[in-house]
Amino acid sequence: MNLQQLRKKSRSRLFQAISFSLLTAALPMAALAQAPQNSLALLDVSHCSLGTDAERQHCRNQQLSSKLAALHGEQVSGNASASNTVVAGNYTEAAKLGDADSWKTKEFMQDWGLEAMNAHHAYARGLTGNGIRVGIFDSGVGLDHPEFAGRDHQGLKIGELLADGSRCAPDYYLGGAYNPCFGTDGGRAQLDITYWDPDWARLLPPESMHLVDKTELLWVSHGTHVAGTVAANRDGSGMHGVAFGADFSSARLFADTAMWAHPVCVFFRFCEVLTIEPTASAFEDMYQQMNAADIRAMNHSWGLGREPENTEEMQEVFDNPNLAPLWPIIHAGSKSKGMIQVWAAGNSRYNLTPEESPIAGIYASLPRFFNDLEPYWLSVVNVRKGEENESAYVLSEYSMRCGLSKDWCIAAPGTDINSTVLGGQSLEGAVVQGPDGNFHLQGIESLQNATTYEYEDYTGTSMAAPHVTGALALLFERYPYLTNAQVRDVLLTTATDLGAPGVDDVYGWGMVNLKKAIEGYGQFRVDTDVNMVAKAGGT
């Protein structure tokens, strides 16, 4: 195991802040167990390549240093955490055109969001998303999951532009001090790599002792879960996606991460992490490939680690020189071919009321700065089922509200959403230093051989956004004669109003309602020209 440089860096940074004497014979494991995070917890609202050096390091520390909590106790659902594994059931019910209720099979009911959005009414009209391709920009998708079998899904390889005009190879580097480049394969999930320091031998419970002095490899399933909600197969097993007949192209925003986990740095959340951050040229590569694949809508279930809280802070973040190179690239991504971009509004800590929730993040609110992006933008908040004396659907206590994005914002199910994940663990990995001085991973085959294909419940605006992306795929099939922007307006204007009457800053236009959306516009927001080049999809 050659992580001495990472270990030294981690400890030297740590000891600038605390004395080694704080390492006692027994750290309070109960406190660690209660930490409301795991290796996925901040993915929905964290993009650690942004901000100052200190802010980026703090973001990375918070993402990974508290992963020990995943070994103890129950994980909360407020930050896209995993719980309640569901065993696939047998498929016996037949579905019929014209009979919406016949589509409400056991597989359908595994995701309560399908019925909440009235997706069964779209299926009864023959709509599945067939012939439509959407994009997913996330932590990568495990395309070997059986729920993606038999489709034309794609994993895009994106990379930083190098001096010789070539692109960085995917997943070659883990990091290092000698200019390692960023490259990822969207058809492979991100890896979470942890070396468990020998000092854990006196602290871990017996059931976790096998980790000591080992390099643990785990899959990050966030992107795989998102993809399942969009387009998992309707095959009588597990669950199925909103647009189970659609295809997707997946690109990976997050490179693999490696951490030397020493008890002190884990406890104080100050562990150093090896990873490579995406560059503007990698973003440009991603958008070029997505548009070349004729992506109609792209799902973004990610955002900043700390989002602005008002218009003044929003302007400050927009003016941040670290972000400035991204704005024209993201702008061109939609304007070049009319791609709809679907953004998770963002997660927050517990909110007492929907009105007290923070406003949606800057990516979800970007048309505030580029007016011409508004027709191609969607911001998505997370609603849960209402309880006694509540409305049918209520903003999750952990969701941001629409805020400044209200005019292009919509609500969708995002609480306790069952979808596809990757299981399995390997303790046979190794992080090695190559001849160029940078770090590389060895032993990924051991995890690939140990991979299991499962289903879990996650919660977050990350889970709400792909419901909207899937709904768009159904409507693209329904309205082949409408532009992408026009289909987006159908989705918005047919939503079921929630909260204050009309478009409000909590729920925006309201809850997705596919039963109404498949019948056409709810209202015309702008002058609309339609070129009837094809008949409507479905029946």
Summarised one tens digit per residue, pLDDT across range 479-493 is 999 999 999 999 999
pLDDT, greater one: 309 or 51:
309
Per-residue pLDDT tens over the stretch 449-474: 999 999 999 999 999 999 999 999 99
pLDDT, greater one: 366 or 13:
366
pLDDT class of 75 with cuts at 50, 70, 90: very low
CA distance 354 to 339: 30
Amino acid identity, position 478: R
Of 33-37, 93-97, 106-110, 480-484, which gets the smallest average pLDDT? 33-37
3-state helix, strand, coil in the chain (%, to 5): 30, 20, 50
Of 188-197, 505-514, 526-535, which gets the smallest average pLDDT? 526-535
Beta-bridge mates of residue 381: 411
Of 12-21, 229-238, 442-451, which gets the smallest average pLDDT? 12-21
361 close to 399: Cβ distance less than 8 angstroms: no
492 close to 410: Cβ distance less than 8 angstroms: yes
**What DSSP line would sit under 432-450, residue for residue?**
EE-TTS-EEEE-HHHHHHH
**What DSSP line would sit under 112-152, residue for residue?**
HHHHHTTHHHHHTTT-S-TT-EEEEEEB---TTSGGGTTS-
* Average confidence (pLDDT) over 396-417: 97
pLDDT at 93: 60
- Delineate the domains of the chain, giving CATH numbers in brackets: 33-170+222-255+276-419+458-517 (3.40.50.200)
**CA nearest 171: which of 442, 450, 448?**
442
CA distance 18 to 390: 48
* Average confidence (pLDDT) over 342-361: 93
CA distance 73 to 32: 10
Find how far residue 389's CA is from the centre of its chain. 32
pLDDT class of 70 with cuts at 50, 70, 90: very low
Per-residue pLDDT tens over the stretch 376-385: 999 999 999 9
Percent of the chain surpassing pLDDT 70: 82
DSSP for residue 340: E
pTM for the model stands at: 0.85
Structure tokens of 440? 């590389």
Structure tokens of 536? 């409507």
Per-residue CA distances from 428 to 46, 284, 289 (Å) = 29, 35, 35
pLDDT, greater one: 222 or 14:
222
| Whether pLDDT at 185 is above 50 | yes
Of 79-83, 161-165, 197-201, 293-297, which gets the smallest average pLDDT? 79-83
251 close to 137: Cβ distance less than 8 angstroms: yes
477 close to 132: Cβ distance less than 8 angstroms: yes
pLDDT at 351: 84
pLDDT at 527: 64
Per-residue CA distances from 510 to 117, 144, 498 (Å) = 11, 35, 5
